[in-house]
Amino acid sequence: MPSRVRSQGHRVTLGLRLLATALAALLASPSLAGIAGPPAPPEARPEIPLLRHSREAEIRARVERILASMTVEQKVGQLLFVGFGGTEVDEGGPIERLVKGKQVGGVALFSRNIESLTQIAHFTRQIAALLPTIPPFIAVDQEGGNVVRLSEPVAAPPSNMALGAARSVELTRRAAQVQARDLWLLGFNMNLAPVLDVNSNPANPVIGIRSFGEDPALVGAHGAAYVRGLQSGGVSAVAKHFPGHGDTESDSHYDLPALPHDKTRLLAVELAPFREAIRKGGLDAVMTAHIALPAVEGRPRVPATVSRKVLTGLLREELGFKGIILTDGLEMKGIVDAYGSGTAAVKAIQAGADMVLILWTREKKEEVHQALLSAVRDGRISMARLDESVRRILTVKMRRGLFDRRPPPVEEALAVISNSSAGPAIAREIAERGLTLVRSREGLTPIDRRTHRRVVVLSADRTFDREMGRRFPESVRIRTPAVPSRARRARDLERTREAAKDADVLVVGVVNSYQARMVGQLVRTLRTPIVVVNMGSPYLIRAFPGVAGYLCTYSYRPASATAAARFLAGEIPAPGRLPVTLPGMYPLGHSAWVDPRASHGGGGGGGATSRRP
């Protein structure tokens, strides 16, 4: 009798498992989600705890079997994350010799590797075919905004700061999920994103609109949502730049920045978004920054990348991170000047890093590879330490499905991307919901075409110029280069002054400090009201503090330029709120937009506000 009961119980348990698996597959179906793409990885499915525990046990067992079968050379190869020139794999050529010869753990592709969607889809599949036993990470740097390697129709958010201004965590998650679908179909299984730097320093030269904002809670919530969205689509997220590059005034590509703050401040601000992404996002990987943390490290000029106190003590032990630690590029001046690439690679692994990023020169890749092999052979990197890293790398690859799933044939994948409206639609939604009206004196914006018939538009952006022309066909439009020469700037200024002296309003699109300085000169010399549409850093208003109207898109992507023109024409609202403080002018959370329905009892709107998010 007991034997029969056990048999029945086994059948019931098996039936429940099959039912749970079927339901999970159905719920994860791309057709139900409205997004074609990869099968959802197991941790994105609604599993019962017993099944999830069983899945993790299976992963651990598979990882240990693979690890036990690997040679030292194969294990060291897994630590290498490399880049190279070229757009296809030639048999016996330099890419095959590097990737297959060293059996690398990961590959990062950039604009130099991309000619078209068809080409890159074939290229990623060629790279994957070089390493069929242990698949490589194939990564792209597709943050969105001003850091994109793949253009439309591939999905990418207008910018993280636009998402921060939109104040919708769910929108951020959906944007990342759509992005993951496109990346996976193209053959990528890792994205070097999101940026989790808290942009608390207006003078920061390298982060800016790449950040979700200056509020650690805002950055953490959106960062965790981005991680969940990306990884639910089978693409590993890489949060960067740990321990935080947002309060620096130099760029680690060229120098060694330092964060002088004490540990209490670091935990409350710089580290808070990483902690949130680890705890609530299930983050796969973190990229280190070559930044000194003297309050943690105890020494003033030691980059976080090679600090055991930072990587192991802070990131692993205090923040509880169990995923992959990937260094930033080991050819950057912030680290190579102090150590050299090979020594830096060894020190990074000793400190707790798992993979080292080496992207540009063949000589540096060889230097790093030989340095790591030598360190393992002479015991400076123990076998136990090497196995720790390889185990983490294999575990993430297993969880993300690299051993079990392959993207569809190229033609099928490209058809899904080109026939889908999901990417452009999500970019448009972000652009419109993030649009922030910072200033509008005397109700200048939207532009009332009954009272402002003579409109002059000065812009370097082709899309903005075109969309303004469609909505204001009688306007005078002047195109200027993004970075004009001094002579060209003088000519454009004179032409603009002449056209605008009898105009009702002058609209100027700006992206960078060159254009911002032009606006400053126009504000000082013209009586005509000026509306600035800022498609770059919101802090640029410091160059023209007296401007009458100020609209921020946080992006020069086409969706953002179109949204700005639509708002100025009165077609859409500007519901976004500042995700940063504009010092001495406007606080975090400010908006000058007034919903016209609010004054007529329509509800749902609001007035000008400076509420915190």
Q: Which residues are catalytic?
A: 253, 328
* 3-state class (DSSP) for residue 442: helix
Q: Which of 402, 374, 401, 397 is nearest to 386 (CA)?
A: 374
Neighbouring residues of 510: CB distance < 8 A, sequence distance ≥ 6? 516, 518, 519, 532, 533, 534, 535, 536, 540
**Cis ω on the peptide bond leading into residue 194 (within 30° of 0)?**
yes
Q: Which of 79, 69, 56 is nearest to 385 (CA)?
A: 79
Q: At how many degrees (to 10) do helices 383-399 and 341-351 cross?
A: 80
Around Cβ 406, how many Cβ atoms within 10 Å?
A: 12
* 3-state class (DSSP) for residue 82: strand
Half-sphere exposure of 363 (CA within 13 A, CB side): 2
**What single-letter DSSP state applies at residue 317?**
I
What is the C-alpha to C-alpha distance for residues 203 and 208, in angstroms, rounded to an integer?
A: 9
N-term to C-term CA, the chain: 64
Cα 278 → chain centroid? 16
Q: How many residues does the chain have?
A: 613
For residue 106, which phi and psi values (nearest 5 degrees)?
A: -160, 155
Distances from the Cα of 241 to the Cα of 142, 211, 308, 554, angstroms? 15, 11, 17, 20
Q: Which of 572, 571, 608, 567 is nearest to 590 (CA)?
A: 608
The residue with tokens 């039936």 is 15
> Residue 239's beta-bridge partner residues?
286
Which amino acid appears at position 202 of this protein?
P
What is the C-alpha to C-alpha distance for residues 310 and 291, in angstroms, rounded to an integer?
A: 11
| Contact assessment for residue 427 and residue 433, using Cβ atoms and an 8 Å cutoff | no
Tokens representing 488 are 């060209």
* 3-state class (DSSP) for residue 214: coil
> Residue 534's beta-bridge partner residues?
510, 552
Tokens representing 23 are 């339901």
Q: Which of 490, 522, 492 is nearest to 505 (CA)?
A: 522
What is the C-alpha to C-alpha distance for residues 592 and 575, in angstroms, rounded to an integer?
A: 9
Q: Which of 286, 287, 294 is nearest to 259 (CA)?
A: 294
Phi-psi group of 4: left, alpha or beta (phi > 0 → left; psi -120 to 50 → alpha; rest → beta): alpha
The secondary structure of 451-475 as a DSSP string is: T---EEEEES-HHHHHHHHHH-TT-
What is the C-alpha to C-alpha distance for residues 167 and 556, in angstroms, rounded to an integer?
A: 20
Helix, strand, coil fractions of the chain, as percent rounded to 5? 50, 10, 40
What is the C-alpha to C-alpha distance for residues 40 and 136, in angstroms, rounded to an integer?
A: 19
**What single-letter DSSP state applies at residue 108?**
E
Cα 601 → chain centroid? 40
